[in-house]
Structure 1
Amino acid sequence: MPAGSFNLFDTHSNGCASVDPGASGNVAIIDRGVCTFSQKVANAKAAGAIGVLIINNVAGDPIPMARTAGFDDDLPAVMIGLNEGVALRASGATTASAGATFQEFVTPANKDILASFSSQGPTLVDLAAKPDVTSVGVNVLSSCVETDPIDCGEAPWAFLSGTSMSTPHIAGSAAVLLQLHSDWTPAQIKSALVNRADLVVKDSITGTHDVGPTAQGTGRENLSVAADATTWMDPSAASFGKVTVGHPTSLNITLSNPTGSSQMYAVSVTKFTPDTFGGTVPSVFDAGTLTSGDNRITVPGSVTVPANGSTTLTVTVNSGQPLGTVIQGWIDLNSGSDDLHFAYYAQVGQ
């Protein structure tokens, strides 16, 4: 589509079944969701539209729109953010100007918003607390296989999203830590990344509410902080799985300190409580509120890790919790310098 001014036609639909013929000769505004982007664009083309403007249906930046084989979708199409779409519709604008500038690297304002397609825990069967940690995985500039006509076309790179993008970030971070600290074990590298992440990830729908440990783990990785780790945890989470109703259940976390000075930590608890915020955030997106303290579990008020040694921190899920209760949050260890935290998760069952 050449640069210029174009008429807009708002379909007020997802464009999956068909697109209103009123879009003919115009740029069709279509909502994201329900069907593939290729189907939306193909339906717009069939209606005579000259281009498509997709409005995102979740918070955060627009995403690359992958093509699906088998559709006649050879039409210019672009996505804008949810907030920008709301503003566009509120303005009542009937025309828009199109231009193009090439910029490879962009630092977006919408950072630390969980991708709407990000998988969540706990794991099946054993109900383990997952994920361990989160990382960058949306709109990542990546190398690309030129023989892939759907994602890459003829270009050697593309903006891609998903676990295929976030996993290499974590793997690369682990490699950096190993290069910096060749004597660290795999468990120590994992703890450094997991237990020193930033607990900053927000929900996919509004981008403003906190999400739980089964959505973000211990948060978004922070490599520079992980590189300075002086105490490690094993395991890196208090993952209870299913606990028996009426019976207290304890789990031990081993803290190791390889330095020549003892490390003393104040121990506190941050409880996570799921909330749909009046139905504005569906429960599947795991948004909620954080509060200080959780009387459903017991932890010591402090713990000291001896120099060149280790100690045990015991976390106990207390008895008296109703059947079906989900107990979750984070336990924080604060020393004033080398702070760390870990997730706890349990389901009360028979």
Structure 2
Amino acid sequence: MTAADVVVVGAGMTGVACAYYAARAGLVVTVVDRGGVAAGTTGAGEGNILVSDKPPGPELALARRSAALWRELGDAVGGARIELEHKGGLVVAASPAEDAALRSFAAGQRAAGVEAHEVAADELCDHEPHLATDLAGGVRYPQDMQVQPMLAAAHLLRAARVRVLTGTRVVGLDRDTAGAIRAVRTDRGLLPTRAVVNAAGVWAGEVAALAGVDLPILPRRGFVLVTEPLPALVRHKVYAADYVANVGRSSTDLQVSPVVEGTRAGTVLIGSTRERVGFDPAFSLRALRGLAAGAVRLFPFLKSVSAIRAYRGFRPYSPDHLPTIGADSRVPGLHHAAGHEGAGIGLAPATGEAVAALLTGAPPPLDLRPFAPERHDVHL
């Protein structure tokens, strides 16, 4: 097969972003995926682009940079074409104690540069007229956005003008006598290259193992309910304050936090659940009931609305809840861009920009040390 400057393994949103920015930097890029474009976690996502759920620290810095890049990408490929919506987020509290904790969390974010506006209980209906009336308060985040992830991945990949090999499984990473990458071995032939980006999502650990390194990324199952098409009754991405805590937990047990948002098609998406059950594809009635109950708790009108389908996906979970981004010092030429869990859509552009900088020898725009692949060695 034709040689490439870099082979990106994975055609989900993160891999697409890496390919897009690498190609823009002048590199010859080939993207390889065992399935199709956005066929894994990306295709099962809600399209969240959030700053609201991240505490001050490296992930929030990555999220803020990504939000700026998403606005640029919307201008570049057409925001309407990828259904990029600057709808904002509204996080709501069920009790006075929860409201106080939410306001404290928001104050820390504001100090880190996030727009966060406190909303009193009696003002929530001004922002969401159909919201439950017994909530204790909330915080509005104008910077939160939503995108249709499959459309975004397809249009960015088309704009990148890179070679794409779908239905192609990576079966080996060939290395020279010095241990550096020299080719990607696939079930369709050999791809000569000196650089590989491991953006394989929940399978990133398997790809890393082909190079003899450990990358502790595991699947974390989640479900989404989809309602029948409705008038535009939900204006923001609305979620319960305990969502943030559930994102950061490491428990294997089922966790449910209501997240409700409308789409351009009129359907309402209802998430989110988290549980570590390996790659078990079974549908959990307990999880779906939890989603329905949580959504009705926030928006009582949903009690009389029909759910038309449900789907599930697997988030790439990292034990310390940070993605792995950067060059792997253990294998020259190997780079990782994986482990974003449920934030991959939102964090993809800044991840791709940073990886492209490393591939071209430029300084990355953000400090990547908190995301370094080698940090996992201390947990082995």
TM range (shorter): under 0.3
More strand by share: 1
TM-score by length of 1: 0.26
Q: Whose helix fraction is larger, Structure 1's or Structure 2's?
A: 2
Structure with bigger RCO (C-alpha 8 Å, 6+ apart): 2
